Amino acid sequence: MNAAVPDPLAGYRIETEPFYRPAGNEVALYRQAYRHRMPLILKGPTGCGKTRFVEHMAWSLGRPLVTLACNEDMTASDLVGRYLLDANGTAWHDGPLTLAVRHGGICYLDEVVEARQDTTVVIHPLTDARRILPLDKKGELVRAHPDFQLVVSYNPGYQSSAKDMKPSTRQRFAALEFDYPDSGLEAEIVAHEAAVGFDLAAKLVAIARCSRELKHRGLDEGVSTRMLIYAGVLIRDGVSPRDSCEMTMTRALTDDPDMASALQGFVAAQFG
């Protein structure tokens, strides 16, 4: 009796439901896009829940999720694979993108514009009717598994023009827009993720709302939902609210004394 064939994407499967609270109809829209295996861009500010959303959707669809955090040093070989030496000589090793393409995973390229444009062009044949991935070094043409989908994300408010997505790439995708949720929903998320009371979470959200008014007026980014969760965790564990907010928000966001003073004022308004 033949042993069961191992699942090449077993390590990429999400076993436990990731916590996610919809802010609109993004779940239904994603499901429709996945139904057609449509490539997607997720646009939105840092720490607003884009990655958690993809994790939640991969779990709900029962698909493995292959995530790559893009950076300027990432090469095409980091995506598609390369020949490596092993005990038996030189052998080809699929990269994470190729694994997802072959075996039907969702491949998520986080902050895709941070990668060099000569690297990301390798995704172009996957984002049209061809749905193929050429492995030039191996001389192989990989046809995408029927369940494969490509999802990328970036923060359009935090990119220089030199790092913006090329129109020839952007037009291959549908897009979903993300932002920080409304105050009540954001407080619910922070309370759940940090395991703190709703009233404390609401105070942290109020600080974040004020900080976001300073975007492009001294701050590149306001306080993210992720930062609020960090602050809540420290407060829950006995760190004072002032020290927690100083550590996770003020010092993390800025080195400018005036901006730091403004953020400290927002904290004082909530916690005294």
Q: What CATH code is carried by the domain that includes residue 165?
A: 3.40.50.300
- Cβ-based neighbours of 99, under 8 Å, separated by 6 or more: 8, 9, 12, 66, 105
Can you tell me the mean pLDDT for 150-174? 80
4: in domain:
no
270 CB-contact burial (10 Å; exposed 0-12 / middle 13-18 / buried 19+): middle
Task: Based on the fold, state whether residues 88 and 61 are members of the same structural domain.
Answer: yes
**Using the 8-state DSSP alphabet, how is residue 202 labeled?**
H
- Enter the tokens of residue 122: 């390798």
Q: State pTM to two decimals.
A: 0.91
Q: CA–CA distance from 186 to each of 190, 229, 234, 241 (Å)?
A: 6, 10, 18, 18
Q: Establish if 249 belongs to a structural domain.
A: yes
- The more confident residue out of 183 and 169 is 183
Q: Is residue 95 part of a domain?
A: yes
Same-domain check for residues 38 and 161: yes
For range 182-193, the mean pLDDT:
97
**Hunting for tokens 């139904």 — which residue is that?**
35
Considering 158, 177, 196, which residue would you say is the last residue of a domain? Answer: 177
pLDDT in the model for residue 1: 43
Q: Which of 109, 37, 15 is nearest to 7 (CA)?
A: 15
Range(s) of the domain holding residue 45: 10-177
Query: Is pLDDT at 161 greater than 60 in this prediction?
Result: no
DSSP label of 48: S
Token pair, residue 156, equals: 């359009």
CB 214 within 8 A of CB 222: yes
Q: Using the 3D structure, point to which of 177, 210, 238 is the last residue of a domain.
A: 177
Crossing angle (nearest 10°) for helices 225-236 and 198-212: 140
- Co-location of 70 and 89 in the same domain: yes
In a domain, 5, yes or no: no
205-253 pLDDT, tens digit per residue, is 999 999 999 988 888 889 999 999 999 999 999 999 999 999 999 999 9
Q: How many domains does the chain have?
A: 2
- Across residues 54-67, what is the average pLDDT? 98
203 and 135 in one domain?
Answer: no
Inform me whether the pLDDT recorded for 265 exceeds 90: yes
Q: 38 and 173 share a domain?
A: yes
Residue 165's pLDDT is what?
79
208 in the same domain as 152: no
